[in-house]
A and B are shown apart, each in its own frame.
Chain A
């Protein structure tokens, strides 16, 4: 039964909530309560901006169980503006070609159905799409 795991992870998955180290200011994702930079305890919540860049990517043709509906899809290693690297699906690509360094932004999307396609619990999570509204990204910097 995976439901309890999905429930525990919902905050980081829905809204990219991680942690910030109170000692060295390092931003941490996923949250792990210990700073990977200085090794001290880090439990302060931090909401990431959701902006980042594609570090590397691959296209999945033969999807693992539960993801077949979405195939083919692209998975990327995204470097968040605040530093950490996250693995996530890219979405809303349309006919756009993915490139290393491409600016992306976080969106909360349906990831899959847990178990039965029509009866299972819906799992939502962060994905990234090509950065859409440059006007706003510039204003936020």
Chain B
């Protein structure tokens, strides 16, 4: 068994890197879980969250990534878009099966043509996978800036448990040199195994999931293992972090995993957005991080651990710099996006999300 002799090692580039700009995006429409329950269970039974965000009929992962990336650039001092050497979009809801989302985003942001562009896929951790790659890209000195985005417009089969939470939103991170950073990335560590907890085959609209198999061997094992290994190699513990944020498919999972790792509610509630916007998949952990960066103070340390089915977790340690408080004023706060809210009913949702059969 490779697990028995493998030792966890921190990923940390020779040139220190950090987040030089960040931006969130949440569509304005909300579908209350109670409304889904009304349609499918006569309003009986509990709901895993309060309400979820729903993209408008003219929104998709490309348009939402563009707005989040514009916010990230607005916060990034005076970075010339032409200096950004990579645009990487992590999602499981790219608008095309073949044709990159990333080129549309790069074009809209003026980052073309001398750049890498690519779409990343690893269920809900595609965005943090792109962030790790961006750390390497900048940390090697090959590039000064790389843009990593995690964004989704997730879909659940009508009536399925996932329909209550499958939501839309995400965040964009401009990774750059530590000396320009709003938050320095102290290192990352990933924990990955082949675990069949959730999947969607080619040409299928809705995903399948391994029911209760999604909990213990998947979400909890990977997040806990990544976090514990991260603590071990960095010599830190929960007491060293003012904030912690985790992948959040519902309210219960991140609350339980945070508590079991030794974090108090005060440490994890700032980044826990799922009750009010739902599970934004590739966006879930990193939009929680953007809500934390909106309020964190210089010197604060933050632990973020994502999770993607299939399965794996990326753990990151960040330290906020003195640049953050002034710079974050330049774009909308995550909570400002959450506060703007138009409630829709199930019928509107069904029309917008293509759940009506027209032919």
Interface size on B, residues (CB 8 A): 25
A46-73 near B? 1/0 per residue, CB < 8 Å: 0100000000000000000000011000
Q: How many A-B residue pairs have CB under 8 A?
A: 63
Contact A139 B329 (CB under 8 A): yes
Is A86 interfacial (CB-CB < 8 Å)? no
Contact B107 A95 (CB under 8 A): no
B321-335 interface (Cβ within 8 A of A): 329-332
In whole angstroms, how far apart are the Cα atoms of A122 and B84 in the complex?
25
Contact B63 A69 (CB under 8 A): no
Enumerate chain A residues within 8 angstroms of B336, measured Cβ to Cβ: 132-133, 135
Q: Give the bracket for the number of chain A residues in contact with chain B.
A: 20 to 34
Q: How far is the CB of B348 from chain A (nearest CB, A)?
A: 11
Contact B340 A132 (CB under 8 A): yes
Enumerate chain A residues within 8 angstroms of B338, measured Cβ to Cβ: none
Is A109 interfacial (CB-CB < 8 Å)? yes
In whole angstroms, how far apart are the Cα atoms of A135 and B330 in the complex?
9
Is B237 interfacial (CB-CB < 8 Å)? no
In whole angstroms, how far apart are the Cα atoms of A70 and B57 in the complex?
7
Is A43 interfacial (CB-CB < 8 Å)? no
In whole angstroms, how far apart are the Cα atoms of A129 and B63 in the complex?
14
Q: How far is the CB of A9 from chain B (nearest CB, A)?
A: 12
In whole angstroms, how far apart are the Cα atoms of A136 and B67 in the complex?
15
Is B266 interfacial (CB-CB < 8 Å)? no
Enumerate chain B residues within 8 angstroms of A139, measured Cβ to Cβ: 329-330
Contact A107 B330 (CB under 8 A): no
In whole angstroms, how far apart are the Cα atoms of A92 and B67 in the complex?
14
In whole angstroms, how far apart are the Cα atoms of A47 and B80 in the complex?
13
Is A108 interfacial (CB-CB < 8 Å)? yes
Contact A110 B58 (CB under 8 A): yes
Is B180 interfacial (CB-CB < 8 Å)? no
In whole angstroms, how far apart are the Cα atoms of A94 and B54 in the complex?
12
Contact A110 B66 (CB under 8 A): no
A87-126 interface (Cβ within 8 A of B): 89, 91-92, 94-95, 107-111, 122, 124
Contact B108 A69 (CB under 8 A): no
Enumerate chain B residues within 8 angstroms of A135, measured Cβ to Cβ: 329, 336
B52-66 interface (Cβ within 8 A of A): 56-60, 62-63, 66
Enumerate chain B residues within 8 angstroms of A122, measured Cβ to Cβ: 60, 62, 95-96
Enumerate chain B residues within 8 angstroms of A127, measured Cβ to Cβ: 58
Contact A133 B58 (CB under 8 A): no
Given contacts A91-B56, A132-B332, A133-B332, 6 further A-B contacts (CB under 8 A): A14-B66, A47-B110, A92-B28, A108-B63, A124-B104, A135-B336
15 A–B contacts, CB within 8 A, in A order: A10-B107, A11-B107, A15-B109, A47-B110, A69-B57, A70-B57, A91-B56, A91-B58, A107-B63, A108-B63, A110-B95, A111-B58, A124-B104, A132-B332, A135-B336
Residues of A within 8 A of B (CB): 10-11, 14-15, 17, 47, 69-70, 89, 91-92, 94-95, 107-111, 122, 124, 127, 132-133, 135-136, 139
